[in-house]
């Protein structure tokens, strides 16, 4: 058997374990002497036959292999990096096949990966490029016409150029021909990546040739180009892990307002709206002047679910066309309003209730003197809208499908029963009691046999914060989750324990505002991943901070010894509640299982912004 083995980029310890085993056991090693690190050969057993292929023709290499195998000796063909890139293994394999010689392939770390590691760079940075082109200038090996660098460079992607350090001037010319890179595009030369004599030179395409000359680079180097090398450039964070990213499953944390305008006049009006909204919300406001549909579409795709509010200054048609492909659903879409350039009408276009577009339209109207155009049915008849009500009092609706049931009951003027926990917000109570058709009960009177109510009426039931009622539930976002764990805990374990924690305590996770722990746990992957997946913002505190709290905590001497505080989860939960709402108490004490602990604090006052 002939084993083709990838030798990695250079550093001896960057080969695979399988490669090491094969080299150690080989009787014959044919290595690419010009490129591999010869220190690797010290792994070979005594008496192994070592041949440098840089002095051999293809034919000679194959004969060597054939002869060794006849004598039942095992052969390793050792080549630099990974064999699948510029390894010329196809021609060797074809010859082996002709002769019926069996072979296998062990991959290696390619030099373009070694180089990225040394540059501490990611080729596929969100916001720069999501593709990597691996290519080379034409040399003795021809490159197909369609793959000339002048053509490939028109994409402006991240690019790793092999086998071209001998003609950097020629390369630069080709790179610029594509029109996507400029002289200012970042570039790097990595000479002998991961070797002791490695050189890493950062430059731009404009200075690439000079950099190569100054450092006498002519071979064994990779040339990398693309925005991915620009560490200054702000990257849009990977959407998958971004807590601000809204998917069909969860609503991310959003903030601020995006105002989109198309003309000078529109821009002037945007400025006025921006000033007015800022005074009211103090949130961040971004005015975007769109000069092309394509760019606007790109921009919107990126920011749509980060903003809470979006204001189009222009025609409804363009707004509808721009947002249509982005919409997910009424519980997650942001508020979108459209105001005409003259500032005469402002239309609540999307997410009137839950998203707050109706209110945004009213406010924009207030600022500009325009007329607010509201078309959602419940507001039209000045009726109670459960979704705006929820938003106003910072409550979540875990099962939004029921919003429609409630709205139609309200429109049909059927009674709606609302069960509120003791201690519910007074202004909320008085708002409800002003509405006809809404009947308030306290949670003490929740009927245990719900079918009784269901049988004789069509009454809709809304309950605040209690479980087990087949009606719409509103969860006040008052909960602060404290988490503790042993070291190295798995995210799956945290998730499983959390599942039990909320089930056993009849909690809705929608009521949780954020999660916290001690700073020792700041980088605990299991906890971080869990928070990311649940969409909880995660904050940590020092033992000293946690120790400033007084109260009756479930304390443990052991925990104190390790962390410096006697209770991690309870103190963290309470610390968060006090930090973000000024008043709070521990609602659920320490819940421990499988090395994970949870506690929940509830805010006793309104959340501060």
Binding residue for ligand SAH, selected from 53, 92, 106, 110, defined by CB under 6 A: 110
Residues 6 or more apart whose Cβ sits within 8 Å of residue 329: 248
Residue 180 DSSP class: S
Q: E strands, 193-334, where? A: 199-204, 221-225, 257-261, 285-289, 309-313
**Sign of the alpha-carbon torsion through 192, 193, 199, 202:** positive
Q: In whole angstroms, what is the distance from residue 306 CA to residue 281 CA? A: 16
Q: In whole angstroms, what is the distance from residue 569 CA to residue 592 CA? A: 10
**Which structure tokens are listed for 602?**
């509830």
Stretch of 193-201, 304-312, 438-446, 502-510 lying at the interface with ligand SAH (CB under 6 A): 193-201
Kindly tell me which of 32 and 253 has the beta carbon lying closer to ligand SAH: 32
Evaluate whether 94 touches 20 at the Cβ level (below 8 Å).
Answer: no
Stretch of 111-119, 175-183, 443-451, 516-524 lying at the interface with ligand SAH (CB under 6 A): 111-119
Binding residue for ligand SAH, selected from 62, 77, 87, 203, defined by CB under 6 A: 87
Kindly tell me which of 119 and 531 has the beta carbon lying closer to ligand SAH: 119
Question: ∠569-572-578 over CA atoms, to 5°?
Answer: 140
CB of 265 to ligand SAH, least distance (A): 55
Kindly tell me which of 111 and 358 has the beta carbon lying closer to ligand SAH: 111
Evaluate whether 310 touches 338 at the Cβ level (below 8 Å).
Answer: no
Q: Is 53 in the site for ligand SAH (CB under 6 A)?
A: no
Q: In whole angstroms, what is the distance from residue 297 CA to residue 278 CA? A: 25
Stretch of 78-86, 314-322, 416-424, 539-547 lying at the interface with ligand SAH (CB under 6 A): 78-86
Phi, psi of 545 (to 5 degrees): -60, -45
Q: Is 92 in the site for ligand SAH (CB under 6 A)?
A: no
Kindly tell me which of 222 and 576 has the beta carbon lying closer to ligand SAH: 222
CA distances from 594 to 110, 488, 522, 588, 598 (A): 41, 12, 20, 18, 11
Residue with tokens 């034409």: 138
Binding residue for ligand SAH, selected from 86, 103, 245, 299, defined by CB under 6 A: 86
Residue 108 DSSP class: -
CA distances from 321 to 20, 145, 294, 401 (A): 59, 40, 12, 26
Q: In whole angstroms, what is the distance from residue 369 CA to residue 438 CA? A: 34
Q: Is 162 in the site for ligand SAH (CB under 6 A)?
A: yes
Q: Is 192 in the site for ligand SAH (CB under 6 A)?
A: yes
Question: Which residue's CB atom is positioned nearest to ligand SAH?
Answer: 81
Stretch of 110-118, 200-208, 367-375, 437-445 lying at the interface with ligand SAH (CB under 6 A): 110-118
**Which structure tokens are listed for 20?**
């090491």
Q: Is 402 in the site for ligand SAH (CB under 6 A)?
A: no
Binding residue for ligand SAH, selected from 12, 50, 85, 320, defined by CB under 6 A: 85
Q: Is 10 in the site for ligand SAH (CB under 6 A)?
A: yes
CB of 79 to ligand SAH, least distance (A): 6
Kindly tell me which of 110 and 246 has the beta carbon lying closer to ligand SAH: 110
Closest CA to 191 of 171, 169, 211, 170: 211
Stretch of 82-90, 255-263, 274-282, 429-437 lying at the interface with ligand SAH (CB under 6 A): 82-90
CB of 9 to ligand SAH, least distance (A): 4
Interface size with ligand SAH, residues (CB under 6 A) = 24
CB of 115 to ligand SAH, least distance (A): 6
**Which structure tokens are listed for 460?**
């809709």
Stretch of 80-88, 351-359, 371-379, 597-605 lying at the interface with ligand SAH (CB under 6 A): 80-88
Binding to ligand SAH (CB under 6 A) within 200-259 occurs at: 219-222
The DSSP line for 9-27 is SS-GGGS-HHHHHHHHH-S
Q: Is 163 in the site for ligand SAH (CB under 6 A)?
A: yes
Q: In whole angstroms, what is the distance from residue 212 CA to residue 191 CA? A: 10
Judged by the rule CB under 6 A, the positions of this chain that interact with ligand SAH are 9-10, 35, 80-82, 85-87, 110-111, 114-115, 162-163, 190, 192-195, 219-222
């Amino acid at each position: 058997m002939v084993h083709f083995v990838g030798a990695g980029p250079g550093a001896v310890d960057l080969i695979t374990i399988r490669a090491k085993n094969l080299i150690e056991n080989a009787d014959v090693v044919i290595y690419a002497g010009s490129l591999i690190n010869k220190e690797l050969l010290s792994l070979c057993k005594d008496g192994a036959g070592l041949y440098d292929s840089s002095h051999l023709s293809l034919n000679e290499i194959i004969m060597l292999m054939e002869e060794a195998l006849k004598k039942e000796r095992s052969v390793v063909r050792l080549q630099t990096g990974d064999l699948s890139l510029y390894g010329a293994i196809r021609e060797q394999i074809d010859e082996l096949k002709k002769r019926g010689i069996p072979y296998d392939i062990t991959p290696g770390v390619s030099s373009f990966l070694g180089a990225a590691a040394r540059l501490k760079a990611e080729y596929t940075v969100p916001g720069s490029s999501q593709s990597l082109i691996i290519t080379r200038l034409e040399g003795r090996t021809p490159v197909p016409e369609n793959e000339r660098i002048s053509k490939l460079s028109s994409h402006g992607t991240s690019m790793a150029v092999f086998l071209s350090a001998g003609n950097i001037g020629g390369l630069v010319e080709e790179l610029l021909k594509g029109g996507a890179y400029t002289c200012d595009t970042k570039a790097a030369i990595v000479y002998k990546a991961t070797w002791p004599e490695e050189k890493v030179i950062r430059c731009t395409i404009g200075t690439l040739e000079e950099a190569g000359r100054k450092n006498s680079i002519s071979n064994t180097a990779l040339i990398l180009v693309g925005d991915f090398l620009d560490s200054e450039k702000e990257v849009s964070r990977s959407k998958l892990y971004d807590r601000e990213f809204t998917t069909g499953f969860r609503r991310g944390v959003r903030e601020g307002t995006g105002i989109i305008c198309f003309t000078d006049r529109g821009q002037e009006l945007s400025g006025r709206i921006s000033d007015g909204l800022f005074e009211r919300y103090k949130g961040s406001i971004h005015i975007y002047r769109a000069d092309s549909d394509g760019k606007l579409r790109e921009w919107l795709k990126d920011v749509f679910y980060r903003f809470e509010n979006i204001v189009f200054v222009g025609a409804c048609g363009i707004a509808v066309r721009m947002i249509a492909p982005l919409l997910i659903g009424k519980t997650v879409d942001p508020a979108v309003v459209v105001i005409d350039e003259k500032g005469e009408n402002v239309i609540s276009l999307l997410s009137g209730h839950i998203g707050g577009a109706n209110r945004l339209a009213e406010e924009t109207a207030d600022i500009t003197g325009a007329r607010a155009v509201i078309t959602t049915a419940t507001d039209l008849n000045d009726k109670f809208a459960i979704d705006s009500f929820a938003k106003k009092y910072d409550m979540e609706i875990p099962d939004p499908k029921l919003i429609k049931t409630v709205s139609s009951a309200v429109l049909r003027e059927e009674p709606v029963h609302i069960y509120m926990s003791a201690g519910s917000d007074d202004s909320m109570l008085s708002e409800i009691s002003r509405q006809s058709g809404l009947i308030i009960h306290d949670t003490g009177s929740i009927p245990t046999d719900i079918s009784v109510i269901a049988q004789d009426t069509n009454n809709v039931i809304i309950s605040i914060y209690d479980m087990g009622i087949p009606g719409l539930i509103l969860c006040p976002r008052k909960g602060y989750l404290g988490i503790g764990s042993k070291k190295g805990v798995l995210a799956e374990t945290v998730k499983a324990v959390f599942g039990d924690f909320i089930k056993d305590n009849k909690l809705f996770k929608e009521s949780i505002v954020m999660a916290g722990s001690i700073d020792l746990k700041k980088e605990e992957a299991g906890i971080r991943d869990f928070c990311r997946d649940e969409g909880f913002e995660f904050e940590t505190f020092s033992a000293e901070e946690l120790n400033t709290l007084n109260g009756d905590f479930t304390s443990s001497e052991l925990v104190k010894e390790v962390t410096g505080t006697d209770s991690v989860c309870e103190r963290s939960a309470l610390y968060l509640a006090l930090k973000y709402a000024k008043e709070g108490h521990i609602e659920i004490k320490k819940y421990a299982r499988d090395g994970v602990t949870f506690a929940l604090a509830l805010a006793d006052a309104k959340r501060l912004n």
